[in-house]
Amino acid sequence: MVTIAVRAAREASKVLLRYYERADVLNISEKGRNEFVSEVDRNAEQVIIEVLREKYPNHAILAEESGTHAGDDYQWVIDPLDGTTNYLHGFPQFAISIAMKHKGRLELGVVYDPLRDEMFTTSRGSGALLNDRKLRVSNRKGLKGALLGTGLPYRDFRFRDQYMGMLNELIEETAGVRRPGSAALDFAYVAAGRLDGFWELGLSEWDFAAGALLVREAGGMVTDIGGGERYLETGNVIAGGIKVHNAMLRKIRPHLDDKLNA
């Protein structure tokens, strides 16, 4: 199944690369506040679905642009272009994310950066790879010297104050915080040890399902921001090596409220 997911990602990447830095020729619409979609997103998603359906015609699908497709106990979770705003501006940070769940449990994940030809892959119990290299989260002991990733609020500002409180706490303790704009790649970078930790509020499942399994299979922790296991449901998430994750959790907890942790 990982092989099929990799094939789907590579086929979709051909669509993305064909129009990269040519946003002027694309049909672009706004599907929500500060949230854009183009024909590239839709076409890349259709390519992924076609590759998966050819091999697994009975599997269910959850895709960002086309929604839910009914099927059996297997479900593919697809983001054909994570980092659409980056892509449309020619900013070189975007990826394709494909995960698969069986009876609700994550079983495999693929995150592909077509510009760097970096293929991050994982399956439950088999570890995580970047191309053919085994991945491991960083072994940093705490926040001192840590490099963190995050995602600033850009469409849902209900929890802006809580987020800014978390940010203020963490920038004082760390070597820096980065906001590149693709959660799928942020998680992949945590798995690869390029980032020591990551947190964000309000993600969608397709943004980070594959990345979450990458981090866990690379020896890291992924929880919701209260420390629980409902991160795919809430979209409020912390990821990192175990000690960095726990240190982030301690800094973030004072800024939680009932609505944010619901």
Rounded Cα distance between 197 and 192, Å, is 11
Looking at the DSSP assignment, which residues form a beta bridge with residue 74? 102
Task: Say whether 82 counts as a known binding-site residue.
Answer: yes
- Roughly what angle, to the nearest 10 degrees, separates helices 183-191 and 205-217? 0
Task: Say whether 64 counts as a known binding-site residue.
Answer: yes
Nearest to 42 by CA among 55, 57, 31: 31
- For residue 226, give the 3-state DSSP assignment: coil
Task: Say whether 24 counts as a known binding-site residue.
Answer: no
Rounded Cα distance between 191 and 137, Å, is 5
Q: How far separated are the first and last CA of the chain, in Å rounded?
A: 34
- For residue 35, give the 3-state DSSP assignment: strand
Task: Say whether 79 counts as a known binding-site residue.
Answer: yes
- For residue 115, give the 3-state DSSP assignment: coil
Residue with tokens 């629980």: 228
Task: Say whether 217 counts as a known binding-site residue.
Answer: no
Binding site: which residues?
A: 64, 79, 81-82, 207
Binding site for Mg(2+): which residues?
A: 64, 79, 81-82, 207
